[in-house]
A and B are shown apart, each in its own frame.
Chain A
Amino acid sequence: MIEAIRIQTPLRAGAAEALKAGQAVSISGILYTARDAAHKRLAQLIEAGRELPIDLRDQVLYYVGPAPARPGQVIGPAGPTTSTRLDPYTPALLERGLRGMIGKGQRSREVIDSMIRHRAVYFAAVGGAAVLIAKRIKRVEVICYPDLGTEAIHRFTVEEFPAIVVIDAWGNNLYESEPPKYAGL
């Protein structure tokens, strides 16, 4: 297995800049969740010049719509959703201090440029490893938008959440750099 380095959230700019694309990480601390519907609401607040319901500074967003918990479980399967859909909303959140995002899949040029400008990092969690990931989520609270069900903004308390730095704060992008090494074989 690949050796993972342990990191904590909130994630300061210095810590984010020290991470390199390709590094396996084990994240402990708080993650906030948001996907399509919540991002749309946050974008509407930003556009209206209003306060956001959560302070995003140095926080890490996890793009996920978890499955419901069985009785006695903290959460159901909770793997990442595809990040591309959230690209249109992301630069504005990075401007407000968002430090990290966990999802899967490619990000747009605008997002990457904004990540570099604001010293933020993008992690990939393994899509389909939803049960394994759920076991690292120790506490779940719905913070806002409960009417959105699975798409609500949750606060996850996580221990040793497995992820990979896929785009670092310098713009190095594993999705660009790795496939050519294995192409044509």
Chain B
Amino acid sequence: MREVTVEAIARKVKELFLAANTRIGADILEALEGALGREKSPLGRSVLSMILENNRLAAQEGMAVCQDTGLAVVFVKLGQEVLIRGGGYQDAINRGVEEAYREGYLRLSVVDDPLFERRNTLTNTPAVVYTDLVPGDRILIRVTARGFGSENMSALGMLKPADGPQGVIDFIVTAVKNAGPNPCPPTVVGVGIGGTADRAMVMAKEATLRRLGRPHPDERYARLEAEALKRINALGIGPAGLGGSTTALAVHIETMPTHIAGLPVAVNLCCHAARHAEGSL
């Protein structure tokens, strides 16, 4: 057994959300530079240049890249040999988020009751937390600050098995087409195939956290990723939806076993301000 204090968890979560909000990953920056080099639309080039300049300035000044500092989403792989001491686990994660959003002058964007009062919680909590128990004695924490311009464009399709690969690609491309300018393209398109309706959506979100340039290990899914990306970019929606060559930076597919009667397909879009960070305890 290895002990980890809730203090350590809170501190790590805070550190990760501060980093995620101010520094865009090198893989995304590289992909945006590549997109700029290939962009046929003058407006598209202008938008991409502004984004790159913005991200550079944000990192330099320690400012959040975007004012929508998002809903805090946390994926934890908790080693079964870890004993968490000193208080509540969920509370610790929420405390880390609250401190990050206070110290980082990040926007407080969470309301308590979703339908009636919609009163700001003023802490940017509660976070959405997914915890999986895994072998071992470490805690791996991956965080994303999920802005809702892109989150609002999520789509779930309970396809028929007979719809097959073409049906899946059609669904993905249609979801991106319907989203248009709203999710701040170029996006990273996360896709979850299989599981249940809810699991497909969680996989889709996790898929948006994958580092760019890593296709699915199964060649058939890797081909699906590539074909979906090609068809998405052929839509011409472009940076900020103002027309152009790059509408998505990548399509990432995650899969899991599913029911004999089902083919759930979930699409979760991440805007170009992909704010992820990971660390371990």
Q: B234 interface residue, CB < 8 Å from A?
A: yes
Which of B61, B107, B182, B273 is within 8 Å of A106, CB to CB?
B182
Which of A84, A128, A162, A185 is within 8 Å of B182, CB to CB?
A84
Inter-chain contact B182/A105, CB cutoff 8 Å? yes
Q: B184 interface residue, CB < 8 Å from A?
A: yes
Which of A124, A128, A148 is within 8 Å of B66, CB to CB?
A128
For B63, list chain A residues within 8 Å (CB): 70, 76-77, 131, 134
Inter-chain contact B238/A79, CB cutoff 8 Å? no
Inter-chain contact A178/B46, CB cutoff 8 Å? no
For B120, list chain A residues within 8 Å (CB): 148-150
B69 → A minimal CB distance (Å): 6
Q: A127 interface residue, CB < 8 Å from B?
A: yes
For A81, list chain B residues within 8 Å (CB): 68, 149
Inter-chain contact A179/B46, CB cutoff 8 Å? no
* Given known A68-B105, A132-B50, A178-B43, contact A104–B64 (CB-CB < 8 A): no
* Interface set, chain B 29-72, CB cutoff 8 A to A: 40-44, 46-47, 49-51, 53-54, 57-58, 61, 63-69
A41 to B44, alpha carbons, bound, how many Å?
Answer: 36
B279 → A minimal CB distance (Å): 23
Cβ-closest chain B residue relative to A24? B46
B55 → A minimal CB distance (Å): 8
For B51, list chain A residues within 8 Å (CB): 126, 128-129
For A150, list chain B residues within 8 Å (CB): 107-109, 120
Of B6-14, B189-197, B241-249, the segment with at least 4 beta carbons within 8 Å of chain A is B241-249
A81 to B69, alpha carbons, bound, how many Å?
Answer: 12
A82 to B234, alpha carbons, bound, how many Å?
Answer: 24
Inter-chain contact A126/B58, CB cutoff 8 Å? no
Which of B49, B57, B238 is within 8 Å of A182, CB to CB?
B238
* Given known A82-B152, A106-B181, contact A178–B67 (CB-CB < 8 A): no
Q: B106 interface residue, CB < 8 Å from A?
A: yes
Q: A37 interface residue, CB < 8 Å from B?
A: yes
A149 to B101, alpha carbons, bound, how many Å?
Answer: 14
For B243, list chain A residues within 8 Å (CB): 174, 177-182
Q: A60 interface residue, CB < 8 Å from B?
A: no
Inter-chain contact B50/A126, CB cutoff 8 Å? yes
Inter-chain contact B107/A131, CB cutoff 8 Å? no
Inter-chain contact A185/B180, CB cutoff 8 Å? no
Inter-chain contact A175/B109, CB cutoff 8 Å? no
A183 to B246, alpha carbons, bound, how many Å?
Answer: 10
Inter-chain contact A65/B47, CB cutoff 8 Å? no
For A64, list chain B residues within 8 Å (CB): 67
* Interface set, chain B 72-106, CB cutoff 8 A to A: 105-106
For A148, list chain B residues within 8 Å (CB): 120
The CB with the most chain A CB atoms within 10 A, among B65, B66, B68, is that of B68
* Pairs A-B, 7 closest by C-beta atoms: A178-B243, A183-B236, A182-B236, A179-B236, A127-B184, A67-B107, A77-B67
13 interchain pairs, CB-CB under 8 A: A22-B43, A67-B106, A68-B106, A76-B63, A77-B64, A79-B68, A104-B181, A106-B241, A129-B53, A130-B66, A178-B43, A179-B236, A180-B236
- Further pairs besides A65-B109, A76-B67, A129-B53: 13, Cβ < 8 Å: A65-B67, A67-B105, A67-B107, A68-B106, A76-B107, A79-B68, A81-B149, A84-B182, A105-B180, A126-B51, A129-B51, A131-B61, A150-B108
